Amino acid sequence: MTKSLKVLIAGGGIGGMAAALSLLRRGYDVEVYEQAAELGEVGAGVQISPNGSRALDALGVFETLKAASCAPRRKEFRLWNTGRAWPMFDLGPQAVEKYGYPYLTVYRPDLLATLIDAVRAIKPDAVHLAKAVSNIDVREDGVTLHFADGTHADGDLLVGADGVKSTVRRCLFGDDEAQFTGMIAWRAVIPMERLPERLRDMLGWTWIGPGGHLVNYPLRGGKLMNMIGTIERDDWQVESWYTQGSNEECARDFAGWHEDVQTLIQAAPSVMKWAFMERAPRQTWSVGRATLLGDACHATLPFLAQGAVMSIEDGVVLGRCLDKYADPVEALHRYEQARVERTSAMVRGAKENTARFHESALATEEGAIAYMESEWSRDPIRDRYDWLYRYDVNTAEI
């Protein structure tokens, strides 16, 4: 049954497609407008913690995505120079036993493609490409999206899922303040056959050291290795996922780090770099019949591995609120209220992990041992992550 509301979604990324799928499955008419000429994600990895797997199951795509991803056995910390290992937490069957769903590591293009396929299976013509939003009108009785090509679209509700540089957010609230964090990131996806056997294990490693850290984990059933390294540097401040870097510059940033870190860097077919910018999470993001979702209202640093998961959760909760509340304006307000505390805590938690991963005490093994015992033993890890992973999009209060 098609419900009467027509929902316009600006942005065809992970958050926009998750919202589209959530609403289509509930019987709403949905149109997605993406500024790019073709749909696609950057070649990178994304971690889907158990709360994210649960949300994907609510969208009907968990099993499909699970088959295309990896379920690492555990995550470990490794010391930047000696490689000494500490357990972070068990994954795989242990995560299922504790939280009901596994922890998956996923190739971003596979996640987006899975969502797009599910959307098009319900409504084949739902997605419109090369539609860059130029302005919006929000009225008491509906919304209009205006596009750079001179066309427009009318609907009953608008969801701005158009990312950290959201045009919808700017139209609703004006320009936001983005602050440079003093960190840049390097990312690469490495074919597993380029790596020595010791680096092909189905584990997730977080290499931590003074002033930097590097994360690597397997993707696509072990065919690929994802790598993202973060280093404190203030001489380059371009916020773009598409800037080509060089293996040599990346290796210099991690000079003195363990041989395995250098091996990962040298094995990368190419490396991309971008500057981490920080935005305060919005406490309000709905105006009448328009709302925001994902990075458009609560962009986060990736140090809690919740960015994509947060936007998927948003999409499921948005659908639940539209079902529960007859007045669409109230539904959007309730969606915002249901999500604001959790998403703000996610953004804060990611920022707090920056210092934990880059702690100066990690400069020596003696300092690292004491620091890991105080900050990363079982109880602190449980306090920091259990509230994240136990969250249930299906039963969370709305």
Query: Given 28, 217, 385, 389, which residue is catalytic?
Result: 217
Residue 391 is a catalytic residue:
no
Distance CA 80, CA 362 (A): 8
Distance CA 37, CA 227 (A): 28
Angle at 364 between CA 360 and CA 366, to 5 degrees: 115
Contact 279, 176 (CB under 8 A): yes
Distance CA 26, CA 332 (A): 16
- Active site members: 217
